[in-house]
């Protein structure tokens, strides 16, 4: 059963996104394990987590670790100096949300764009409640909104409203939009960040993989794929399709159904192969499934939520 906090229908509602705050404690991102897909075997490793930031240079004191010696300042002043570091208290979390025209599809419960917005909002709340800085990159077929990671409820709420306000667009012909976003992400992702890409991953190819290579080397990259069951395989039969204005009929034969399933499996294998090169796990969320359950399972948490308070 899908939790009542998650959205349904065709519209991204900022009030529903704000309401997902009550589920944030059920997704402790700081304890997340980085589990790769089945092609990598059973190995699981923790995410990089918080690191250390440079604070200052000061004079050497007895007992200081000489491995922190700042040799340039020492040589310039003639007196021993060391570098002082402090623990980074806030890890940057960057949420990349795909709201292209291919996400304007759904046959169960909600459109893919609505599910993607719910997932992004839940991740944002989970990161904020553990003290991390939250930023976002929201894109459709023609525009993007780039919010650099910050702390504070005001920034988070602005991000949620941007998710709801992003216009619905139609696909631009021959536009390599996914590649544009991967390149943009490579420019803005700060080393040490946790980067969650919530998308249907349509249009992701070898060029996109190369664009994300530097991101995967310096950040924790997690791929979340939003899928509608009808994209995997259409059962044979006659269907009525509508975009809200016009209606048409579609007939699917048994052969068409089998060919679609084979094509889907090939695309999935190619995507997993690329993500394996990037050392990025793939978490699938179907539109009729509970997003929280899918995320918990994909992040290596127990499916048993008993004893966990909301």
Q: How far apart are CA 134 and CA 156, in angstroms?
A: 7
Is 186 in the same domain as 255?
A: yes
Is 64 in the same domain as 113?
A: no
Q: What is the pLDDT of residue 221?
A: 96
Neighbouring-strand partners of residue 134: 93, 150
Do the domain assignments include residue 220? yes
User: Last residue of a domain, which of 87, 107, 140?
Assistant: 87
Is 253 in the same domain as 208?
A: yes
The model's pLDDT over 239-272, given as tens digits with 9 standing for 90+, comes to: 777 767 888 887 878 887 788 888 999 999 999 9
Residue 42: pLDDT band by 50, 70, 90 thresholds? very low
SS3 content of the chain, % helix, strand, coil (to 5): 40, 25, 35
Do the domain assignments include residue 232? yes
Residue 41: pLDDT band by 50, 70, 90 thresholds? very low
Share of the chain above pLDDT 90, in %: 63
Q: How far apart are CA 5 and CA 24, in angstroms?
A: 11
Q: What is the mean pLDDT of residues 231-237?
A: 82
Q: What is the mean pLDDT of residues 95-117?
A: 95
The model's pLDDT over 137-179, given as tens digits with 9 standing for 90+, comes to: 999 999 999 999 999 898 899 999 999 999 998 876 556 899 9
| H helix or E strand, kind and range, residue 54 | strand 52-59
Weakest-pLDDT range from 37-41, 61-65, 262-266: 37-41
Is 262 in the same domain as 229?
A: yes
Q: What is the pLDDT of residue 309?
A: 53
Cα 242 to Cα 159, 229, 239, 245, 247: the distances in Å are: 31, 17, 10, 7, 4
b/e string for 11-41 if b means 16 or more Cβ within 10 A? ebbbebbbbbbebbebbebeebebbbbeeee
Q: Under a CB-based contact definition with an 8 Å cutoff, are residues 67 and 107 in contact?
A: no
Q: What is the pLDDT of residue 39?
A: 45
Q: Under a CB-based contact definition with an 8 Å cutoff, are residues 119 and 198 in contact?
A: yes
The maximal CA–CA distance of the chain, rounded, in angstroms, is: 84
Do the domain assignments include residue 234? yes
The model's pLDDT over 164-217, given as tens digits with 9 standing for 90+, comes to: 999 998 876 556 899 999 999 999 999 989 999 999 999 999 999 999 999 999
Do the domain assignments include residue 146? yes
Smallest CA-to-CA distance from 124 within 194, 188, 182 is with 194
Do the domain assignments include residue 219? yes
Is 21 in the same domain as 164?
A: yes
Q: How far apart are CA 14 and CA 228, in angstroms?
A: 22
Q: Check whether 303 has a pLDDT greater than 90.
A: no
Q: What is the pTM for the complete model shown?
A: 0.81
Q: What is the mean pLDDT of residues 286-304?
A: 90
Q: How far apart are CA 33 and CA 131, in angstroms?
A: 19
Is 76 in the same domain as 115?
A: no
User: Last residue of a domain, which of 65, 87, 109?
Assistant: 87
Number of domains in the chain: 2
Is 67 in the same domain as 149?
A: no
Is 98 in the same domain as 234?
A: yes
Is 115 in the same domain as 230?
A: yes
**In CATH, what number is assigned to the domain containing residue 216?**
3.40.50.410
Q: How far apart are CA 219 and CA 95, in angstroms?
A: 13
Is 72 in the same domain as 176?
A: no
Q: Check whether 98 has a pLDDT greater than 90.
A: yes
Is 134 in the same domain as 207?
A: yes
- How wide is the angle at C-alpha 257 spanned by C-alphas 288 and 239, nearest 5°? 65
Q: What is the mean pLDDT of the chain?
A: 87
The model's pLDDT over 119-135, given as tens digits with 9 standing for 90+, comes to: 999 999 999 998 899 99
Q: What is the pLDDT of residue 240?
A: 79
Rounded to 5 degrees, φ, ψ at 201 are 65, 20
Range of the domain at 225: 14-46+90-298
Q: What is the mean pLDDT of residues 81-104?
A: 85
Is 261 in the same domain as 160?
A: yes
Q: What is the pLDDT of residue 40?
A: 44
């Amino acid at each position: 059963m899908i939790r009542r906090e998650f959205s349904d229908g065709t519209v991204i509602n900022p009030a529903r996104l704000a309401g997902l705050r009550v589920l944030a404690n059920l997704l402790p991102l700081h304890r997340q394990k980085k589990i790769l897909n089945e092609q990598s075997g059973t190995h699981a490793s923790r995410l990089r987590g918080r690191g250390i930031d440079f604070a200052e240079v000061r004079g050497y004191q007895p007992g200081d670790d000489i491995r922190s010696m700042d040799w340039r300042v020492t040589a310039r002043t003639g007196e021993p100096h060391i570098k002082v570091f402090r623990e980074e208290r806030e890890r940057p979390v960057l949420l990349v949300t795909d709201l292209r025209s291919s996400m304007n599809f759904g046959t169960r419960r909600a459109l893919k764009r609505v599910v993607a917005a719910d997932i992004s909002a839940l991740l944002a709340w989970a990161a904020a409640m553990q003290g991390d800085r939250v930023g976002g990159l929201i894109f459709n077929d023609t525009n993007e909104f780039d919010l650099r990671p910050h702390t504070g409820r005001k920034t988070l709420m602005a991000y949620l409203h941007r998710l709801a306000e992003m216009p619905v667009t139609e696909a631009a012909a021959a536009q390599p939009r996914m590649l544009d976003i991967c390149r943009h992400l490579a420019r803005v992702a700060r080393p040490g960040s946790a980067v969650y890409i919530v998308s249907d991953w349509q249009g992701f190819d070898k060029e996109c993989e190369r664009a994300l290579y530097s991101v995967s080397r310096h950040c924790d990259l997690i791929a979340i794929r939003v899928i509608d069951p009808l994209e995997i395989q259409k059962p044979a039969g006659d269907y009525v399709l509508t975009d809200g204005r016009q209606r048409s009929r579609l007939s699917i034969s048994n052969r068409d159904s089998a060919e679609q399933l084979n094509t889907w499996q090939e695309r999935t294998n190619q995507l997993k192969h690329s993500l394996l090169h990037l050392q990025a796990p793939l978490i699938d969320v179907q539109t009729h499934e509970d997003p929280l359950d899918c995320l918990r399972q994909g992040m290596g948490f127990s499916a048993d939520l008993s004893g966990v308070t909301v």
